[in-house]
Structure formats: C-alpha cells, structure tokens
Amino acid sequence: MIVYWTVRALAKAILKIIFRLHVEGEENLPADGPLIIAANHKSFLDPVVVGVAMRRVIRFIAKEELFRYPGFSWLIRQLAAFPVRREGHDVAALRKAVSFLNSGEAVGVFVEGTRIRREGLGEIKPGIYLLARLTGAPVYIAAISGTWPLIDRNGRFPRINRISIRFAKLDADPKSERFAKDKDAYLALLGKRLEEELAALKTSSSHRD
C-alpha cells in the first residue's frame, strides 16, 4: 500500500491548495470493518476526492475499460481499484466486492454506474442494493460537489472550482421488511438522500464563501 498512501498524500496537497477541498462528516465513518461508500459521479476526479477525504483505504469498483492499458492498470490496481464489466451482470466483480466487504474492507460504488456530465443525478443502479443486502455492511453516502465541469467556458483546464464532499449514513436496511421485497424503494430513498446531502453541501459551501 506504499503507492496508495504516497499518491494519496500528493493528491491531498493538490486538492487542498488548488481546489480548496472541504470535507464534512468523515469523522462519522467507521474506522474499521465493512463499509460501502455510495457516491455520485461527475468527473474522473471523484474517486481521488473520496480517497483523499477518507482516512482508510477504499476499494473502488471501476469500469474494465480502464484496465486495458498496462501502465495505468498497474497504477489503479495499486490504488485498490478493481474492474467491473458494465454490460450485463458481472457476477465475478460482485463476488470480489462481497469478499472485500466480508474481510472488513471499504468498497466504493458510483451509484449511477457512469459519469453524469450534466446537472442532477442519473438513474441509481441496483448494484449498491445487492452489496448491502448480501453483506449487511453499513452504507454511507458521499455527496461530491465541484468536480464538474473541469473545463471553463474559455476551454481552459482545469477550471478551479471549490471541491467539497459530505459523508452521511444511509439509515436503510435492505434486509428489513420495508425493503427486502422492494429494491426500487431502497434505490429511490438512496437517490433522495444523495440529493438532500448535495443540497446541504451547497448551502454550507455558500456560507463558507
């Protein structure tokens, strides 16, 4: 994990100095044991932001296309990512995620399944429900703001936004009577909570500015 912590330290310095990274709620995350992070996704910076904001290693599920280039594949594996096939149901990736959680690790999921490069959330995919139901791991929302757009109206990169992230526990047990037979209700609640946390994050950001 030497590469992980080295890259994290460098990324943290960049995000703090250039993007004025602000973190809320990280102190409430479990310090150990299984943990699912359910995040929104606007930019390739999002997994970096989550990794920097957390004090423990997080294993992100990443699209398999990112692993096709040997050098980059080596790097993101060192950063604890593992691949998933986005078409159909990738049972192998699900089993690997379950294995990590059952071993007491943290797994990160971008709940929309891909980057949503527009305002608002995309459709919440069912993978998060399956992971929570199979493992019983607590789910914490990671609401990320400011990572999109990264290119300004003059075409310059990067656009220097303030980046903020807010963690909050999702109090919903997929094994409960309410959700055991209603996956859609669980996903709808998760989406609603994520929208609420994003709204709260924007409010707190406006007060800081």
Q: How many CB atoms lie within 10 A of CB 179?
A: 19
Instruction: Report pTM.
Output: 0.91
Quote the pLDDT of residue 137.
97
Q: Is the pLDDT of residue 171 over 90?
A: yes
Domains and CATH numbers, the chain: 2-208 (3.40.1130.10)
Model pLDDT for residues 1-32, shown as the tens digit of each residue: 899 999 999 999 999 999 999 999 999 999 99
Angle, nearest 10°, between helix axes 127-135 and 91-102?
40
Give the lowest-confidence range in 35-44, 105-114, 196-205.
196-205
- 39 compared with 65, residue with greater pLDDT: 39
Quote the pLDDT of residue 133.
95
Q: Is the pLDDT of residue 209 over 70?
A: no
How large is the average pLDDT for residues 136-160? 83
Q: Is the pLDDT of residue 99 over 90?
A: yes
Beta strand residue intervals within the chain, DSSP E = 22-24, 35-39, 58-63, 82-84, 106-110, 139-145, 164-169
